[in-house]
Amino acid sequence: MFFPNAAILLDPVILILLGVIVGILGGFFGVGGGFLITSGLLVLGVPPLFAVGTGLSVVMGSAIMNIIKHNGMGNVDFKLGIIMLCGTIPGIFVATTINNRLNESGLAETVISLLFIVIFTGLGLFMIYDFCKSKFSSTSHSETESRKGLTSKIQSLRIPPHSIKILDRRLSTYITLPTSGVNQLSIFIPITIGTCVGVLAGLLGIGGGFILMPLLIYIIGIPTTIAIGTNLFQIIIVGSFGTFLYAVDSHVDPMMVIIMLFSASLGSQIGARATQVVEPNNIRILFGITVLSGSIAITLKLISTIKMELAFLSQISPLILIGTSGMISLIIVSIVFKTLVFSRIR
């Protein structure tokens, strides 16, 4: 099937499969699926800026479908999400400018691919390490206790100014987050996190969820399930702004977006349901494996473009990416299925 905006010929079955997987993983991990969509489109040969713009569009739609379910389960901290947006939105504008400059110089594909590789590899290895550490060091420690040291230090940071004057009132720059269980936190910490996520989201064509979720868990110290829901709220806004900016530059392919969003709606409910029955630590290890597979796929694709004698690697990379993501999705589906079966037996 020919996609005129991106000027590329693709098999729509692959896009449907990608959409279903994105829906399941999006509902389960609390991400829009941009880390999978954009890297997947790059691997399939979609031009980098179209992969970024189309990826953001699908991310936004997928997040909207998933947040409805998570909000009903009480997993969204809207207060924290709104504060982070104060940094995220300016970060997206900065990233869009950088991407346009890179495209003009012909460096967009190389830079975006290298960023994916570095961030995905680091994040995936860290989350796998954290899982192994918490699994084998002490089985008596809870999810919160395993990262209590760092998050306590972050929450206790005192960053000036400690108050700001608005009209005739002086307001403290420290906030409480009842939904996330945080008693006190400097407002500048979530704003800074939001800015970093916004820049990376705009550069890589993702909602920023795959970066934001571990930051919320390991830096701010909120529960995994709340991080998932709050992530989705952030992604909706980020995806909306990012989609608008890339659409203005005609870097979004509507046909791709429609195909992947329709199929994503089929899997999103399964993923959201699974978070209720899977331990938080197991969610994180599956997340780490998924993003690490994206890093391997993009690495193979980049090598194949540098060395012509290794061009066959470009055929292997999509199999690794979609194969691993598909395997994780099957694990999630099987968990939900087993839960439903056991609940009926009881």
Domain carrying residue 44: 2-345
Question: Do residues 80 and 189 make contact, with C-beta atoms less than 8 angstroms apart?
Answer: no
**Model pLDDT, residue 319:** 76
Q: Per-residue pLDDT tens for 267-281?
A: 877 887 787 788 877
Q: Per-residue pLDDT tens for 10-22?
A: 888 888 888 888 8
Q: Which residues pair with 177 in a beta bridge?
A: 182
Question: Do residues 35 and 120 make contact, with C-beta atoms less than 8 angstroms apart?
Answer: yes
- Count Cα neighbours of 174 within 13 Å in the Cβ-side half-sphere: 12
Mean residue pLDDT of the chain comes to 81
Alpha-carbon torsion (112, 118, 123, 128), positive or negative: positive
Of 238, 233, 154, residue with least CA distance to 189 = 154
Q: Total structural domains in the chain? A: 1
Tokens found for residue 205? 């064509």
DSSP H or E stretch at residue 186: strand 182-186
Q: Is the pTM of this model over 0.75?
A: no
CA atoms of 277 and 335, how far apart (whole Å)? 8
Give the list of residues 6+ apart from residue 201 with CB closer than 8 angstroms, or none.
34, 56, 88, 91, 92, 95, 207, 208, 211, 238, 242
Question: Do residues 37 and 22 make contact, with C-beta atoms less than 8 angstroms apart?
Answer: yes
The angle at the Cα of 215, spanning 37 to 174, to the nearest 5 degrees, equals 135
The angle at the Cα of 126, spanning 221 to 332, to the nearest 5 degrees, equals 80
Tokens found for residue 106? 């012909």
CA atoms of 47 and 108, how far apart (whole Å)? 10
DSSP H or E stretch at residue 339: helix 313-345
- Enter the DSSP assignment of 33: S
Cα 233 to chain centroid, rounded: 12
Q: Per-residue pLDDT tens for 90-130?
A: 887 888 788 888 878 887 777 877 887 888 888 888 888 88
CA atoms of 168 and 85, how far apart (whole Å)? 25
Q: Per-residue pLDDT tens for 321-341?
A: 778 888 998 988 888 888 777
pLDDT exceeds 80 at position 186: yes
Most confident of the following: 25-34, 75-84, 85-94, 146-155: 75-84
**Model pLDDT, residue 140:** 47
